[in-house]
Amino acid sequence: MSRSLRYILPLLAFLVLAGFLARGLNLDPREVPSPLIGKPAPGFALTRLDDAAQTIRREDMLGKVWVLNVWASWCVACREEHPMLVEFAKRKLVPLYGLNYKDKRPEGLGWLQQFGNPYSASLFDEDGRVGIDFGVYGVPETFIIDKQGLIRLKHIGPLTPDVIRERIEPMLKKLDA
């Protein structure tokens, strides 16, 4: 019995895999509703990527609308969206902060040096604890946080000109940034 069972194992393993794939077909990798929308942004106190001596807290950010972009130097899709962010930051619509997620300090800094730094500052989240509090699914992700510190928008995946035009800008206008 156990001998012939061994030969069925590959089939069973495949069927489980096929089940996941079938489920995956019905999921859009970009569309995830966040339970955090409309809720207060989680508290954090992180050092700046470029200065380990300076700490930025959630409270420091209250009173202004700001954008938080989660990125990492190991993330390929972040390179894809980076020119968009640089362009976006040049327009100075709103303060743009980075959350440098599960990265190493020299690598993160090197990356910004190489591709340009659009961020007012990047928060250095080495172990990804804050990212988890924010419900980060994958890198890159972008959040808009309002004057009261509530999360108002979350975008998963790289920003594109369309996303900026159709989701980011209207929300910023609504929040009167």
Partner 1 sequence: MIPELGHFLLWLALGVSAVLGTLPLVGAGRNRADWMALARPSAAILFALVALAFVCLALAFVGNDFSVLYVATNSNRSLPTHYRFAAVWGGHEGSMLLWTLMLAVWTVAVARFSAHLPDKVMARILAVMGWLSFGFLLFMLMTSNPFDRLVPTPANGRDLNPLLQDPGMVIHPPMLYMGYVGLSVAFSFAVAALIGGNLDATWARWTRPWTTAAWIFLTIGIALGSGWAYYELGWGGWWFWDPVENASFMPWLVATALIHSLAVTEKRNSFKSWTVLLAILAFSLSLLGTFLVRSGVLSSVHAFATDPRRGLFILAFLVIVIGASLSLYAWRAPSVGIGARFALLSRETLLLGNNVLLVVACGAVLLGTLYPLALDALGMGKISVGPPYFDTVFVPLMAPLVFLIGVGPLARWKAAELPALAKRLRWALLVAIVAALLTAWLRGHLSVVSVLGLAMAFWVVAALLTDLADRLKPSGVVRTSVLSRARQIPRAMIGMMIAHFGIAVFIFGVTLVKSGEVERDVKMDVGDTTEVRGYTFTFRGVQPLQGPNYRAAQGTVEVTRDGKAVTTLHPEKRVFPVAGTTMTEAAIDPGFTRDLYVSLGEPLTGNTWIVRVYVKPFVGWIWGGCLLMAFGGFLAATDRRYRSKVRESAAADAKVAAT
- 163 makes contact with partner 1 (CB under 8 A): no
- Tell the smallest beta-carbon distance from residue 154 to partner 1 (Å): 12
Q: Which residues of 89-111 are buried (b: 16+ CB within 10 A; e: fewer)?
A: beeebbbbbbbbbbbeeeebbeb
The smaller minimum CB distance to partner 1, of residues 74 and 177, is found at: 74
Q: Is the dihedral of CA 24, 30, 32, 36 positive or negative?
A: positive
Neighbours of 60 (CB within 10 A): 10
Strand pairing of 141-145 and 66-71?
antiparallel
Binding mask 5-44 for partner 1 (x = CB under 8 A): --xx-xx--xx-xxxxxxxxxxx-xx-x------------
Q: Which of 62, 90, 82 is nearest to 146 (CA)?
A: 62
Site string for partner 1, 142-161 (x = CB under 8 A): --------------xx----
- Residues in contact with partner 1, counted by CB under 8 A, come to a total of 42
For residues 89 and 96, is the Cβ–Cβ distance under 8 A? yes
Which residue in 54, 57, 64, 114 binds partner 1 (CB under 8 A)? 114
Our finding on whether 113 is near partner 1 (CB under 8 A) is yes
CA distance linking residue 28 with residue 24, whole number of Å:
8
Based on CB atoms, which residue is closest to partner 1, 14 or 63?
A: 14
Share of the chain residues as helix, strand and coil, in percent rounded to the nearest 5: 40, 25, 35
**Rounded Cα gap, residues 158 and 121, in angstroms:** 19
Among 1, 2, 4, 53, contact with partner 1 (rule: CB under 8 A): 4
Nearer to partner 1, 131 or 146 (CB): 131
Q: Is 77 in the site for partner 1 (CB under 8 A)?
A: yes
Q: How far is the CB of 124 from partner 1 (least distance, A)?
A: 16
Closest to partner 1 by CB, 48 or 154: 154
